[in-house]
């Protein structure tokens, strides 16, 4: 079993990244949040979930162990496979997904690609008491928490304006991360740097 992979991000492709570990390139599916966080040519450590089937051996990677654990919780839900679990994690940060589940926010969960109302309701029913949050805490509490990564807020702002999570991550990757969220979103919308 592969628990972690450490190496250099050699490529960022539309659906995955290639992590070069000692000359071997591993194709790893990652969340949009991690896609935005990782930089081509820079070292990275990913917590790995292996999904082995007869026809494939897929790797799913996460920069944070808590996100991997949420992914595994999602996989425990009836009829939720790795691609659907990753799609659910792509609707926002892991904390925002936890809040949506804890608050029973089926509409937010339905915004994930390939997740219908029934599947979203199933996620809420099975995980509401397991995600480690108290219902009633809104996304504002998370966004205003000290130490939140501004990349997350800017990405989510672009997604709310119609960008796909991957497009938002790629666009923001070319903009100075020291700027304010508002300035980064403004520059992203103009297509500038």
* CB 31 within 8 Å of CB 89: yes
Q: What is the pLDDT of residue 132?
A: 64
Give the tokens for residue 137.
């805490």
Tokens 């936890």 correspond to what residue? 98
**What is the per-residue pLDDT across 11-54, written as a single tens digit (0 to 9) for each?**
999 889 999 999 999 999 999 889 989 999 999 999 999 998 88
Q: What is the pLDDT of residue 192?
A: 53
Q: Which CATH architecture has domain 4-62?
A: Beta Barrel (2.40)
Whole-model pTM over 0.75: no
Give the tokens for residue 178.
């020291």
Q: What is the pLDDT of residue 154?
A: 78
CA distance 150 to 75: 28
Q: What is the pLDDT of residue 148?
A: 35
* Beta-carbon contacts of residue 56 (< 8 Å; ≥ 6 apart): none
Nearest to 142 by CA among 109, 111, 173, 100: 100
Q: Domain 65-139 is classified in which CATH homologous superfamily? A: 5' to 3' exonuclease, C-terminal subdomain (1.10.150.20)
CA distance 21 to 16: 15
* CB 35 within 8 Å of CB 16: no
The C-alpha angle 191, 169, 164, rounded to 5 degrees, equals 85
Nearest to 169 by CA among 8, 70, 66, 39: 39
Q: Quick one: how far is CA 58 from the chain centroid?
A: 17
**What is the per-residue pLDDT across 70-117, written as a single tens digit (0 to 9) for each?**
999 999 998 899 999 999 999 988 888 988 898 888 999 999 988 988
**What is the per-residue pLDDT across 126-185, written as a single tens digit (0 to 9) for each?**
998 888 654 444 444 433 333 334 446 777 777 777 677 767 777 777 788 778 888 888
Confidence label for 68 from pLDDT (cuts 50, 70 and 90): very high
Domain ranges for the chain: 4-62, 65-139, 149-190
Backbone angles phi, psi at 21, to 5 degrees: -115, 95
Q: Does domain 149-190 have CATH number 1.10.8?
A: yes
Same fold, 4-62 and 65-139: no
Helix (H) or strand (E) segment spanning residue 114: none
């Amino acid at each position: 079993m592969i628990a972690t992979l450490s190496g250099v991000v050699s490529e960022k492709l539309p659906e995955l990244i290639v992590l070069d570990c000692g000359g071997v390139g591993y194709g790893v599916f990652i969340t949009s949040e991690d896609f935005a966080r990782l930089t081509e040519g820079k070292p990275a450590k990913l917590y790995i979930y292996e999904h082995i089937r007869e026809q494939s051996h897929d790797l799913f990677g996460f920069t944070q162990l808590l996100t991997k654990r949420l992914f595994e919780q999602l996989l425990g839900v009836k009829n939720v496979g790795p691609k659907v679990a990753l799609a659910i994690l792509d609707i926002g940060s892991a904390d925002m997904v936890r809040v949506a589940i804890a608050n029973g926010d089926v509409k937010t969960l339905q915004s994930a690609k390939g997740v219908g109302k029934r599947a979203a309701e199933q996620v809420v029913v099975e995980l509401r008491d397991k995600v480690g949050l108290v219902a009633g805490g809104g996304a504002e509490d998370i966004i205003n928490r000290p130490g939140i990564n501004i990349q997350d807020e800017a990405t989510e702002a672009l997604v709310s304006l119609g960008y796909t999570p991957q497009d938002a991550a790629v666009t923001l990757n070319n903009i100075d991360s020291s700027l304010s969220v508002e300035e980064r979103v403004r520059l992203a919308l103009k297509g500038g740097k």
